[in-house]
Amino acid sequence: MRLTEILQPECVKVPLEATGKQAVIFELVDLLARNQMISQVDEIKQAVWHREETRTTGIGHGLAIPHGKSACCQSLAMAIGKPAQPIDFNSIDGRPVNLVILLISPADQTGPHIQALAQISRMMTDNGFRAEMMSADSPQQVYQLIGAHEQATTT
C-alpha cells in the first residue's frame, strides 16, 4: 500500500490553526470534508474523538496518528497537519506532537486501515525521514517527502 494512493495533496495543512488536541483532530476532519473525502462530519468527529479518549494516539517522537472508523466513510481517507506550535497530545513518551496524521476508514474495512497504520509507522521509524517531515514548512513539501520516501523504498 502506498500512502500517496490515499492522501490527496489538498488534505495536507501546514500550519494548522488549532492549538489543542481535540481542535487539531477536528480541523483535520473538516479538511477531509471540504475536499469531499468524507461526509457526516459530526459523526466522524465523534468516532475519532471517542477512540482518542480510549487511548492516546500520540505514539511518540512528536507524532500522533488519530484514527477512527465510520459507516459514513466510503473508502480510507487521510489528512496530515503540522501545528504551528507543538501540542500536548498526552503522548506515550510525554513529548508534544509536531505532526498529526489522521486516518478515517469504513467501519467494515479493517485490512486497509491496519495496512495504512503499519505503513505510516514503518515510514516514521526512519529517523532521517521523520526529521525531514518535522522540519517541512509547506503542505507541498510534506506530500513530496512522502512520495519520495515511498519511491525510494519500493524500488
Which candidate, 60, 1, 61, 50, places its Cα nearest to that of 25? 50
pLDDT value, residue 17: 97
Q: How confident is the model at residue 155 (pLDDT cuts 50, 70, 90)?
A: low
Beta bridge partners of 64: 58, 100
pLDDT digits (tens, 9 = 90+) for 46-84: 999 999 999 999 999 999 999 998 887 888 999 999 999
> Domain range for residue 17?
3-154
Judged against a pLDDT cut of 70, whether residue 148 lies above it is answered with yes
The pLDDT > 90 percentage for the chain reads: 83
Q: What is the CATH number of the domain that holds 61?
A: 3.40.930.10
pLDDT value, residue 108: 84
Higher pLDDT, 40 or 15: 15
DSSP letter string over 42-99? HHHHHHHHHHHHHS--EEETTEE--EEEETT-SS-EEEEEEESS-B----TTSPPBSE
Cα separation, 115 vs 124, in Å, equals: 14
Give the number of domains in the chain: 1
Judged against a pLDDT cut of 80, whether residue 154 lies above it is answered with no
pLDDT digits (tens, 9 = 90+) for 23-40: 999 999 999 999 999 988
pLDDT digits (tens, 9 = 90+) for 86-141: 999 999 999 999 999 999 999 888 788 889 988 998 999 999 999 999 999 999 99
Q: How many helices (H) and strands (E) does the chain have?
A: 5, 6
pLDDT value, residue 72: 76
